[in-house]
A = this chain, B = another copy of it.
Amino acid sequence: MSRHHADAMPHVNTDRLWQWHMRMARFGATGRGGVNRPALSTDDIELHKQIALWARERKFDVEIDDYGNQFMRRPGTDENCAPLVSGSHSDSQPTGGRFDGISGVLAALEAVEVMEEARIRTRHPLEIVIWNNEEGVRFRPTQMGSAVYAGHARLGPLQAAVDPQGVSLETEVDRLRQAVDFASERSLGKPFAGYLELHIEQGPILEEEQIDIGIVTSIQGTRKFEVQILGEAAHAGTTPSRNRRDALVDAVNVVKALQILFYDPLDLVRFTIGQFEVKPGALAVVPDNVFFTIDFRHHEDAVLKSLGDQVKAVCEDAAERCNVSVTETRNAHSENFPKSVQKIVETACSARGYTYRYLPSGAGHDARYLNAFCPSGMVFIPCRNGISHNEAEYADPAALAKGAQIVADTLLMLDEQLAS
């Protein structure tokens, strides 16, 4: 293993990286400091084109696949090697921020730019990727582009996906190809040598602990449930407690029991009741119907199983007078990144003197689907107050630069260590 490449890696350019962020933030800017950039909207296509033009100026090939994933390829010294790929997504939530997704694309871009400037060659080709439709806002499901690319979803039904206005994904991919008319076709599933993705943490841990880099151990698994509680409506003034079958009273009992089930002194369990609806919803009428959702996540599959498997019984036992039904709507296991890749990121942090910690990802990311496809890893950087999916989302220029630096350094080390 030759060390000279990584040692030779110069610093990324903090200002240039920040300017890239500010340029990209104009596409879909909301006027309140955020962005609204649906997947393959005109704004999003313009963004893709800007990055494709940057690549063309450097004589990199640009490729677009049938799902609108766009790849910018810097050649390697051994073109028989599969590429090392880094990037993320460019679409946003309706009131999204300027960093979610795009910062991972720009970290990869800056890493490649620095290698260009320093004339550092890698054995593997390096590819910057923009995954399409990660947020799942315009088309369903989330992480569509990466899931299809890596073979997790079948082609037909997803390509026919339409947005709420009835515009199909296929139509919009055609529009992207027209805008980036110098791009060539990319086959889905074309192999990667490795995948690395930078993302803002979207949580408060790194900022609270004043840590530069999060080394992502896993994308936590999730189980989702719907709970329906049926009682009997009654007159609030005349009906004694003993005659009531109050759905809200039992719902509160059920929620309390679930809180006990999911209580975790380590604070690693994520348990949320986000939707909670009470009917008929009249001041003087005892409610007969409560519906609520459970969003449960954990990075260990054993915990997902042991706690998740108790949900139904806990709900049923806690209800005293009403009928309870529990439906599981999703069960996705935890995705663990290989320790070898995590270790390389750690080495990169140590070499730069950056502080780091290992942590699981609470949110889902494109890297979830790449992990079974090639050796994969993720790098988190802090974001202010952990706020994301919000126009107030903010990441510091220095934090973005440190993240891009680790992406650059890690890519070089992966280039040395990974097979072709």
Cβ contact within 8 Å between A276 and B267: no
**Closest B residue by C-beta to A224:** B283
Q: A226: nearest residue on chain B (CB-CB)?
A: B283
Bound-state CA distance A388–B201 (Å) is: 55
CB-based contact B272/A281 at 8 Å? no
Known: A201-B238, A239-B203, A363-B235. A277 touches B281 (CB 8 A): yes
Instruction: Report yes or no: A238 in contact with B274, Cβ–Cβ below 8 A.
Output: no
Instruction: Decide: A274 near B252, CB < 8 A? Known: A235-B202, A236-B297, A240-B203.
Output: no
Q: In the bound complex, do residue B362 and residue A238 qualify as a contact, i.e. CB atoms below 8 Å apart?
A: yes
Contacts A275-B278, A275-B283, A278-B277 hold; do A202 and B238 have CB atoms under 8 A apart?
Answer: yes
A70-93 to B contact mask, C-beta < 8 Å, 1/0: 000000000000000000000000
Structural contact, A238 and B386, CB atoms closer than 8 A: yes
How distant is the Cα of A389 from the Cα of B284 in the complex, in angstroms? Answer: 11
Within 8 A of B (CB), among A263-309: 264, 267-278, 281-287, 293, 295, 297
- Max chain B C-beta neighbours (<10 A), residue from A271, A275, A285, A361: A275
Question: What's the Cα separation between A205 and B240 when bound, in Å?
Answer: 9
Assembly CA distance A355 to B151 (angstroms): 77
Given the known interface contacts A238-B363, A240-B267, A389-B235, the answer about A285 and B274 at a Cβ–Cβ threshold of 8 Å is yes
Q: Which residue of B lies closest to A285 (CB)?
A: B274
Q: A252-B256, A283-B275, A287-B276 are in contact. Are A236 and B267 (CB under 8 A)?
A: no
| A237 within 8 Å of B (CB atoms) | yes
Chain B residue numbers with a CB within 8 Å of A255 are 248, 252
Docked CA distance A167–B26 (Å): 54
Question: Does the CB pair B276–A281 fall under 8 Å?
Answer: yes
Cross-chain contact A362 with B272 (CB below 8 angstroms):
no
A268 (CB) vs chain B CBs: closest residue: B240
Chain B CB within 8 A of A242 CB: yes
Once the chains bind, are A203 and B276 in contact (CB under 8 Å)?
Answer: no
Chain B residues within an 8 Å CB radius of A252: 252, 255-256, 259
Residues of chain B within 8 A of A295, CB atoms compared: 236-237, 283-284
Cα of A264 to Cα of B270 in the assembled complex, Å = 36
A222 at the interface (CB under 8 A from B): yes
- Measured CB to CB, the closest approach of chain B to A224, in angstroms, equals 7
> Are A242 and B270 in contact (CB-based, < 8 A)?
no
Taking a contact as CB atoms under 8 Å apart, the answer to whether B267 and A388 are in contact is: no
Residues on the B chain within 8 Å of A386, using CB: 234-235, 238-239, 243
> Contact: B267 with A274, CB < 8 Å?
no
Given known A243-B386, A272-B284, contact A222–B235 (CB-CB < 8 A): no
Whether A364 is near chain B, meaning CB under 8 Å from some CB there, is: yes
Q: Could you mark each residue 248-260 of chain A with 1 if its beta carbon is under 8 Å from any beta carbon of chain B, else 0?
A: 1100100110010
Encode A332-368 as 1/0 by CB contact (under 8 A) with B.
Answer: 0000000000000000000000000000011110000
Cα A259 to Cα B386 with chains together (Å): 35
Q: Smallest CB–CB gap between A380 and chain B, Å?
A: 10
12 pairs from A and B in contact (CB 8 Å cutoff): A203-B238, A203-B240, A235-B363, A235-B386, A235-B389, A237-B297, A237-B362, A238-B362, A239-B386, A240-B268, A274-B282, A274-B284
Binding site for B on A (CB under 8 A): 201-205, 220, 222, 224, 234-243, 246, 248-249, 252, 255-256, 259, 264, 267-278, 281-287, 293, 295, 297, 361-364, 386, 388-389
Top 6 nearest A-B pairs (CB, nearest first) are A238-B362, A203-B238, A237-B362, A236-B272, A276-B278, A236-B295
Given contacts A236-B297, A240-B268, A246-B272, 5 further A-B contacts (CB under 8 A): A236-B274, A241-B271, A273-B287, A276-B278, A284-B295
